Amino acid sequence: MTEKNLLELLREYKSGGLTEEKILAEVKKFSLATESFGFASVDHGRELRQGFPEVVYSPGKTKEQLKIIFKDLYERCEGNLIASRASREQFDFLRGEIPEAVFDETARMIYVDRDKTYVRDEDKKILIVTAGTSDVPVAEEARLTAYLWGNAVSTCYDCGVAGIHRLLAHMDEIISANVIIVVAGMEGALASVVGGLTNRPVIAVPTSVGYGASFKGLAALLAMLNSCASGVAVVNIDNGFGAGVLASKINSSV
């Protein structure tokens, strides 16, 4: 069920065509609706409950499985769609069935951008800052996720603490942002620095970028969790998608 479906039900109830019991039953049915394909149960109620259709995690799924799930969401939902961590091979396999689908090589994301109801508010912009260029793939996953969830998004890339002047050159963007996502590997210090420069919420994303002692992102994760700057939250290693969603939900609640 989409918001459009729900409005139709409410109008029918208002006109006397539906009882309270009937409309409650319909809302419950659709908000928990799933469709089983044996290998997957697609959650069609998520768009109504959370404002965005179910997002498909692509690794571990065959090309055929991903195509079936994504096509079902495309036909049953009205909002934008995301298949995260997808490959070019998976995209090439499904694109014939879904001409609107686009593949972003850097973000590793298949997506459909079709929701025309979004009004992206420049006064509630999400800013994404990376420590280095190697962090950009995770940052792009966060950027595209936040954009598809209806947000205005801007970026400042390669602003790590090894050259702090590169970050300070973007103070106007930092001060004007409503939410900031900081993406950093190595020692993960950038999140604390940004957190100390703004009164806005900061979402820190540790990446698996770095030499051996970074332990594939664990060093950055622990550093971010131990940040002395207040107002810094941390998502999982390389989880740009999670950061994009969290920033969107913060934006929609203020």
The full DSSP string for 138-174 is HHHHHHHHHHHTT--EEEE-S--GGGHHHHHTTHHHH
Residues 81, 131, single domain; the answer is no
Whether residue 54 is found in the same domain as residue 109: yes
- Helix H or strand E segment including 232: strand 232-234
Q: What is the pLDDT of residue 82?
A: 97
Last residue of a domain, one of 96, 117, 138: 117
Same domain, 97 and 134: no
Domain that holds residue 84: 34-117
Q: Is 5 among the domain residues? A: no
Q: Are residues 110 and 155 in the same domain?
A: no
| Same domain assignment for residues 133 and 230 | yes
Give the up-direction half-sphere exposure of residue 154: CA atoms within 13 A in the CB hemisphere: 16
Give me the number of domains the chain comprises.
2
> Do both 48 and 142 map to the same domain?
no
Weakly modelled stretches of the chain, pLDDT under 50: none
Read off φ and ψ for residue 233, nearest 5 degrees: -105, 155
State how far the Cα of 83 lies from the Cα of 247, in Å rounded to an integer.
19
pTM for the full predicted model: 0.86
At what angle are helices 3-14 and 20-31 packed, to 10 degrees?
Answer: 170
- Residue 145 near residue 240, CB atoms below 8 Å: yes
Inside any domain, residue 20 = no
Query: Residues in the chain, how many?
Result: 254
Q: Which residue, of 117, 133, 167, is where some domain finishes?
A: 117
Query: Do 128 and 98 sit in the same domain of this protein?
Result: no
Residue 19 within a domain: no
Kindly state whether residue 176 falls inside one of the protein's structural domains: yes
Boundary-marking domain end, from 73, 97, 117: 117
Position 138 scores a pLDDT of 98
In a domain, 14, yes or no: no
Backbone torsions φ then ψ of 251, nearest 5 degrees: -60, -40
Question: Is 189 found in the same domain as 79?
Answer: no
Q: Is residue 44 part of a domain?
A: yes
Residues 109 and 190 grouped into a single domain: no
Residue 2 in domain:
no
Instruction: Enumerate the β-bridge partners of residue 127.
Output: 154, 180
Same domain flag for 149 and 227: yes
User: In terms of domains, do 133 and 106 share one?
Assistant: no
Q: Is residue 150 part of a domain?
A: yes
Is the CA virtual torsion 89, 90, 93, 99 positive or negative? negative
At 237, which CATH number? 3.40.50.1970
Question: Do 183 and 248 fall within a single domain?
Answer: yes
